[in-house]
Amino acid sequence: MDTTWIQVFILTFAECVAPAGKTVCQEQQFELQFAKQADCEYALEQLLAMKDGLDNVIVNRRKSGCAPSAMQTESFASLEAINEAFKDKVGWTVPGEGGARRAIVNADHRERLVNLYPCEETGGIAPCRIGDIIVEEATTGEVVEIWKRD
């Protein structure tokens, strides 16, 4: 494993947000990194579209945008080398294989299915299974806070 420098694109987003019912806003700024310029510009467009619909947010377009930069990162000789280095790391997804995460979820699902009784045997008392479907217990009716803008 070596260290190398790669090009990244920094999305800087500057906005002024006012709490509900207030006329004075507080400026805040955040940055996101992208590997491709097109991804950075797409994210900027989405943020601008989302924020334009809000009454309590003003976007400073002069301070917002995508700029090229660079970052230092680890580099590997091959795809096999990086897969070997991270194979035991929880949540590692093999580059180019979108199904790696799904395989983990499916394995967990199958393991849980094996440990559950069929709903016919439990008289419908959950958790139980119907075929490959896991039936969970009913919600407890916990209170959920709902936030809304006045």
Residues 100 and 55 occupy one common structural domain: no
Task: Give the per-residue pLDDT at 31.
Answer: 92
Residues 64 and 10 occupy one common structural domain: yes
Does some domain include residue 150?
no
Confidence of residue 63 (pLDDT cuts 50, 70, 90): very high
Domain that holds residue 49: 1-75
**Beta bridge partner(s), residue 34:** 9
Task: Give the per-residue pLDDT at 150.
Answer: 44
Instruction: Give pLDDT tens digits for 98-136.
Output: 554 566 667 777 888 888 888 888 877 888 887 777 777
Instruction: Give pLDDT tens digits for 10-37.
Output: 999 999 888 777 778 888 898 999 999 9
Give the residue from 59, 65, 58, 68 showing the smallest Cα distance to 23. 58
In this structure, which amino acid lies at residue 135? V
Q: What is the model's pTM?
A: 0.55
Does some domain include residue 110?
yes
d(C-alpha 9, C-alpha 39), whole Å: 9
CA distances from 55 to 24, 47, 134, 149 (A): 12, 15, 43, 10
Domain boundary among 75, 103, 123: 75
Does some domain include residue 81?
no
Domain boundary among 21, 40, 75: 75
Task: Give the per-residue pLDDT at 72.
Answer: 92
